[in-house]
């Protein structure tokens, strides 16, 4: 996504992916998928703590702004830091990339804080293109993807909330 002359990306924080993007696009801003961060954080949590842990974590990424999110992270760390140190450290280590979406209006944060929408689109495109074993040219692939997106768009009847 272009915004003000620089690139904005959303990644699922696979090893090396963010660094590669920054090497090619040094002016880019990267947002790590918050949903992936939540899943990774919850891997360390025992079942009996999970509901309370996720409720406290939700206070971070649903904050009004980055400053309020930092306060929520402090509270989260005070409460859970000794018991689930790795989960809390992961939030600190990725903080700048987890909070980049706060630079945008609230109305579009729900779209860009996660990679779920693009993963869904990619899956649907794969559904249309997987029946072909190969494409004779790059242009043939491009046209096939364009046609697939046209078919996918026909099924998009529900607008994005707000």
Secondary structure of residue 131 in the 3-state scheme: coil
Q: pTM of the prediction?
A: 0.71
Structure tokens at 137: 């040219």
- Sequential DSSP letters for 93-129: HTHHHHSGGGGS-HHHHHHHS-SHHHHHHHHHHHHHH
Does 18 score more than 90 pLDDT? no
Lowest mean pLDDT among 46-55, 106-115, 121-130: 106-115
pLDDT tier for residue 11 given thresholds of 50, 70 and 90: confident
Distance between CA 75 and CA 68 in Å, rounded? 11
Residue 99, number of CB atoms within 10 A of its CB = 23
Distance between CA 47 and CA 51 in Å, rounded? 8
Distance between CA 84 and CA 21 in Å, rounded? 30
Which DSSP state fits 162? -
């Amino acid at each position: 996504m272009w915004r003000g002359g620089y690139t904005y990306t959303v990644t699922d924080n696979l090893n090396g992916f963010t660094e590669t993007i920054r090497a090619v696009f040094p002016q880019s801003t990267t947002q790590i998928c918050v949903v992936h961060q939540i899943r990774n954080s919850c891997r360390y949590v025992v079942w009996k703590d999970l509901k309370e842990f996720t409720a406290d974590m939700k206070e971070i990424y649903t904050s009004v702004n980055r400053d309020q999110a930092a306060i929520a992270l402090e509270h989260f760390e005070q409460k859970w830091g000794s018991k689930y140190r790795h989960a809390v450290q992961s939030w600190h280590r990725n903080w700048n990339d987890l909070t980049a979406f706060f630079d945008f209006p609230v109305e579009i944060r729900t779209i860009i804080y996660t990679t779920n929408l693009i993963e869904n689109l990619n899956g649907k495109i794969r559904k249309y293109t997987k029946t072909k074993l190969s494409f004779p040219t790059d242009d043939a692939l491009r046209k096939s993807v364009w046609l697939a997106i046209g078919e996918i768009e026909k099924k998009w009847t529900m607008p994005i909330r707000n």
